[in-house]
Amino acid sequence: MLRTVVAALAALTLCLAPSASPAETRVPESQAEISLSFVPLVKQATPAVVNIYARRTVETRSPFAGDPLFGNLFREFGGRPRVQNSLGSGVILSDDGIVVSNYHVVGQATDIRVVLNTGEEYAATVLLGDEESDLAILKLEGAGDMPYLALRDSDTVEVGELVLAIGNPFGVGQTVTSGIVSGLARSGTATGNARGYFIQTDAPINPGNSGGALIDVNGDLIGVNTSILTRSGGSNGIGFAIPSALVAQFVEQARAGNDGFARPWAGMTGQPVDADLSESLGLGLPGGVLIAAIHAESPFAKAGLGVGDVVLAVDGQPVNTPPEMIYRMSVAGLGHVARIRYLHDGERREAEVEMIAAPETPPRDAVTLDDRAVLPGLSLARMNPAVATELDLPMAAEGVVVTDPGLYAARIGLRRGDILLTIDGRAVTDPDRVDRLLRRAAPRVEIEALRGNRRSIVRFRT
């Protein structure tokens, strides 16, 4: 029996001995070699993973708000501030206390407390947050000489690598789970508002793990845990982490003073190339993003790409969906000149495309109507790519758009993102002209507006 055990251990160490020749065998010389545990790695990494307690105040809406009959009678019913508490995790990324977490953990929080695994507690403020990427960068107040994790380039991560997920699931305290990288280039599969590109892992991730660390066997951060795919509410072995390459861009922009994440503007709409499209385009295998429409100011258009071309890769990395393409552009960063590989009329080409912010062309000419106006507090702007991006409107939208309806315009039914077409039958072409058109139409005003693909008429008396 003893010979069998020794022989098994000797066979196991064939792959573990760093300098052993193919024919050499040896018996394990230490308890660490026999146990093969993650203890040293956990001791190294856990001090840099923190628990986050956030509090935010939200306004509750009365069910009778806006009702012409019951609105005034029950205006005290509901509409009172309510405090929400959230629990999550975060990762320290620098010795001066820069922390990354999820936006859904700390976004719009009025009070944030960060607790280290030693019990030390710090107040924190949000330097930069982005709901779409579900990332937020925090700064610990009064912090110095902090433990932190180094960022590994997530583009070097491969399926099958061993990983550890560290966080505070269910508020039970810091917990470590292990698994492997089970998928890459996962786009459109995470829950919530997050969109883009994710690392998939089977390391168990549960509520409270959000914002925690996904590390490799060297203790480097490869991703920030963000969500799970589940029917029961618990971990089913399909978890998603935001890659460290995007986290690095967030840290860079936060240190530069940005309070919101600035993405490069593509100025196009596209669709994935499926099997049918691939066959018609002569690609052989599905892949790439087919350009369906492109703006005249798009940097891709200026580099020679057009409708019908297929974007295959950005900086040597293949792209197969629009979110993945935007992710690659975001990782490249504003000001970078990206190498784009694309297909044009069956021919593979390359182009250099500058990563730019959405342009302010034409100027937005933003105005807010004063207290003497027919609709005081109404904020307006001229449509341009920058405004369309901010309001999540079609890039080809034109005209004058509502950026904030204010109290009075909201009461008559106008919303943020509505495009004003006419006032009393007269075309709205300039934000500065809106107040004059409203005054001319008073006391009976009719506004025609476009909301999405639907035209609507708003009539009111002043």
CATH number of 286's domain: 2.30.42.10
User: Is 210 one of the annotated active-site residues of the chain?
Assistant: yes
Of the candidates 89, 104, 295, 435, the residue annotated as catalytic is 104
* Mean pLDDT for the chain overall: 85
Task: Burial-class residue 433 by CB neighbours within 10 Å (0-12, 13-18, 19+).
Answer: middle
Is residue 399 domain-resident?
Answer: yes
pTM: 0.80
Q: Which domain holds residue 451?
A: 367-461
Six-digit token pair at 274?
Answer: 């499926």
Same domain, 137 and 214: yes
Give catalytic status of residue 344 as yes or no.
no
263 found inside a domain: no
| Alpha carbon distances (Å) from 216 to 147, 161, 179, 187, 251 | 17, 7, 10, 21, 20
Question: 76 is written with which tokens?
Answer: 């005290």
Residues 378 and 333 in one domain: no
- For the cut 60, the answer to whether the pLDDT of residue 28 exceeds it is no
Q: Is the domain of 96 the same as that of 137?
A: yes
b/e burial code for range 273-308 (CB count within 10 A of at least 16 → b) = beeeebeebebeeebbbbbeebbebbbbbebebeee
Same structural domain, 76 and 131 = yes
Q: Which helix (H) or strand (E) holds 254?
A: helix 244-255
Count the domains in the chain.
Answer: 4
Q: Which of 182, 210, 227, 298 is catalytic?
A: 210
Q: What is the pLDDT of residues 179-188, one digit of tens each?
A: 999 988 666 5
66 and 207 both lie in a single domain: yes
Residue 11 has pLDDT above 80, yes or no: no
Of 86, 89, 133, 134, catalytic: 134
pLDDT recorded at residue 323: 87
Structural domain includes residue 262 = no
360 in a domain, yes or no? no
Instruction: State yes or no: is 315 an active-site residue.
Output: no
One domain for residues 202 and 104: yes
Give residue-wise pLDDT tens across range 96-146: 999 999 999 998 888 999 999 899 999 999 999 999 889 999 999 999 899
Same domain, 67 and 30: no
